[in-house]
Amino acid sequence: MRIRTLTAPTMADALTIIRQELGPEALILSTRKVTGADGKPTLEITAAMNEPEPASKPADSPTHKQLTSSHSPQRLHADDTSLPSILRHHGVSEALITKLSAALPGLQSAGFAASEALEMLISKMATFVPAADALKQGQAHLFIGPPGSGKTTLVSKLAVQAKQNGRKVGILSLDDQKLGGFEPLAITAENLGDTAHLLTGPAALKTA
């Protein structure tokens, strides 16, 4: 297990560093407020990541060689980094994927880098609405996803934006399994002057 302790001005910054250094499956073990070297308050976060055990090397038998040579996969789907696969993974419609894939080569041949060309195309074909503007006062919004998908970061950012717009914020979490999963939301709520609640079941909603 790899354990990393770091300091960052905000929880969002800390989560970014943790994901970069330990990966999206890292667990936050503890968080606390400390005084930084410059005398300003900062966050100290301890995170951990389980390192996978090395896979045992299969026997180099004739049968294994034959199977390897004749049935070697071209590329696993999970490792597919082609543009259509990436866009599809993020929920982009097939119609927009087709348009982007068709227009991108032309811009690249004109000398634009792939990232620049893609940014130009998306700005022309899609309109983005700030997520906080789409959240209406008095409504509850549910965020569901696998570990490491960015739920905590998203909720924290939306809470800050909503607070800046003069809205009241309430954060409820059902994550009572992951070690340290609730603390980042609790710190965000405390910094905003609100309260976050960790729920252990449907009945807890009545008192939250």
One domain, residues 116 and 138: no
Q: What sign does the CA torsion over 87, 91, 92, 95 have?
A: positive
Q: What does the pLDDT look like over 171-196, one tens digit per residue? A: 888 766 665 667 777 777 777 777 77
For residues 31 and 41, the answer to whether their CB atoms sit within 8 Å is no
One domain, residues 151 and 108: no
One domain, residues 121 and 144: no
One domain, residues 160 and 172: yes
Report how many domains make up the chain. Answer: 3
pTM of the model: 0.38
One domain, residues 199 and 180: yes
Residue 60 domain-assigned (yes or no): no
Mean pLDDT of 70-84: 49
Q: What does the pLDDT look like over 150-177, one tens digit per residue? A: 788 888 888 877 777 777 778 888 766 6
Residue 33 domain-assigned (yes or no): yes
Residues 6+ apart with CB under 8 A from 198: 173, 174, 175, 176, 182, 186
Residue 72 domain-assigned (yes or no): no
Q: What does the pLDDT look like over 117-130, one tens digit per residue? A: 777 777 776 665 56
One domain, residues 16 and 37: yes
Q: What does the pLDDT look like over 129-149, one tens digit per residue? A: 565 566 666 777 788 877 777
Residue 177 domain-assigned (yes or no): yes
Identify the domain containing residue 37 by its residue range: 2-49
One domain, residues 194 and 152: yes
Residue 197 domain-assigned (yes or no): yes
